Structure 1
């Protein structure tokens, strides 16, 4: 029986997957606190797994694809952001940011990334280059800190200062508590979180070849044809579709952009109906590992590149995007 089986109700699929996410998170926390290093390693893997699911569930809740009640979607979506760290942005900001991505067929950013890196102080830029080369996603963490500090940096968000302070206090308290229980556990949690950010960054990088659209500046009007031509389905596996559940079927991205109200468990069927196995910008993630590695610095300074697909080949010019997470609205 597959997850899309009509014998399993949508409510059961959703509640079961949500419960599984929390169970993996709790088990992961437990395992990073014990002594055997083998169990510590398993705990890190389970934490990464749970964090990835919490992020993709946040995406589903943004679209209102889990429950019929909009308030329930908003509540559980916010709960998920407390797992993955996206809670510093308001729920309304997350929803607005992501729906603008769909409605305007663009990756909206708060400032010109390319200009930012190319004109950065050389000493500071060298720090970014070294850390990014080492797979420490320093720019992604900068974007998260920009969200945290936005109430002090942007006058229109001043009313959110006490909210931001409360969130920082409660999350800092939890990290101090974790360190008090086990300093090793705190270090392993950060290893898991950094791994999670890298994995989601990899998944997000190759979904589109949209040009960055800077908030507040004019951008060209784009249609649905442009959207599909610049959207790609990055599946974990074509041969073993169940592996795509590792990202809650997030890789069926052309199908998702065709119908953003389609829930996660119906996306494989919709993809098959629309594109079969060769259409829909199909570009499996395993084929993009070398691109992600090779261009991990280049994409910071030169943009997303192109991905004109030839039969059976991986586009060598597809550098991938950066800073396009739905968890970090500008």
Structure 2
């Protein structure tokens, strides 16, 4: 126990962390085995396994960004860098991801280097293309956000240091998929399907967790605007979007990321403790809880309007359980721009 507690942030972290990592590795390996197969049934299973392995890996990155996995900053960084490769986000630098996400917490806002909404409005043809794809349930906006992680080092001078990493990762991934395509050409369209499914799950979990303002201050020092919002504001504008209230084990499908209020209150607490903490803190108080049944309706109904939407703060959401809560796109912690 002594050796364990000297490495992990929490003394009880070994088994849940090992199980989560084992699941990610197994899902990734068997997922690729499935999409490389000639059997359609295995192709479908492979897509689902790959997508879900990436989802869990992404939320392990989120844990590492809070240093809630290991005590050592370097151990958390190495762990997150490994998971970034699994999620296909290794173009991003962990330090950039962590910086953006921690600013989200301490500033109590969505902090970005630029707001994409005015850009889309200035380019109506591109906006129309995004709207058509989103109407067809293709997460085009998220794809664009991830593409910008690759492009921005060649556009913004302050991202210039990331160019070598982007080029190196691009070459490695192109070589990897070229090799797989020689074995089974269908990997070139089955993997993108898995990736789009992964992005859809991540986006669904993000869009309804906050009614925060967007500030284009990511590349700037924290200013006076970062101190305008207190803990009460944070709690009132943060929502827990549980997949299931009755069966908490279902929320493990997203590594308990849906227990968002308790996470914001106790950021160092690991994912496997959040259900019990949520119950202890809130019990039957559902004032900040939005349920899957209502949110899936909202996600469907507003999939196109959401592209340009920015919900006002202190929105009275609970009167209809979030069904008219449009939500916000483009706020993933994986896209550090």
How would you bin the TM-score normalised by the shorter chain?
over 0.9
* Distance of 1:218 and 1:150 partners within structure 2: 27
1:190 aligns with: 192
Aligned length: 321
| Map 1:78-93 → 2, pairs under 5 A | 78-93=81-96
Equivalent pair of 2:133/2:140 in contact (CA under 8 Å): yes
Give the gaps of 5 or more residues in structure 2: 1-10
Measured against aligned partners, the alpha-carbon deviations of 1:295-317 in whole angstroms (never above 9, x if no partner) come to 11111123235752436x42333
1:50 aligns with: 53
Asked if 1:117 is matched to 2:130, the reply is no
> Against the structure 1 CA distance between its residues 280 and 64, is the aligned structure 2 distance closer, same or farther, given a 3 Å change threshold?
farther
| Map 1:312-327 → 2, pairs under 5 A | 313-327=320-334
Greater displacement, 107-116 / 256-265: 107-116
Give the gaps of 5 or more residues in structure 1: 1-7
Measured against aligned partners, the alpha-carbon deviations of 1:137-192 in whole angstroms (never above 9, x if no partner) come to 22212211211122211112222222211111001111211211111122111100
| Map 1:112-191 → 2, pairs under 5 A | 112-120=115-123, 122-191=124-193
TM-score with structure 1 setting the length? 0.92
2:18 aligns with: 15
Asked if 1:224 is matched to 2:227, the reply is no
Asked if 1:99 is matched to 2:99, the reply is no
- Give how far 1:118 is off: 2.4
2:318 aligns with: 310
> Against the structure 1 CA distance between its residues 46 and 233, is the aligned structure 2 distance closer, same or farther, given a 3 Å change threshold?
same
- Give how far 1:68 is off: 2.0
Measured against aligned partners, the alpha-carbon deviations of 1:193-231 in whole angstroms (never above 9, x if no partner) come to 001101100111011010111124874621111101000
1:37 aligns with: 40
* Distance of 2:30 and 2:187 partners within structure 1: 13
Measured against aligned partners, the alpha-carbon deviations of 1:78-134 in whole angstroms (never above 9, x if no partner) come to 1101111222121111111010000000111222333222222x3222211111111
Asked if 1:206 is matched to 2:213, the reply is no
TM-score with structure 2 setting the length? 0.91
1:5 aligns with: none
| Map 1:218-297 → 2, pairs under 5 A | 219=225, 221-279=228-286, 281-297=288-304
Three-state SS of the structure 2 residue aligned to 1:279 is coil
Equivalent pair of 2:294/2:322 in contact (CA under 8 Å): no
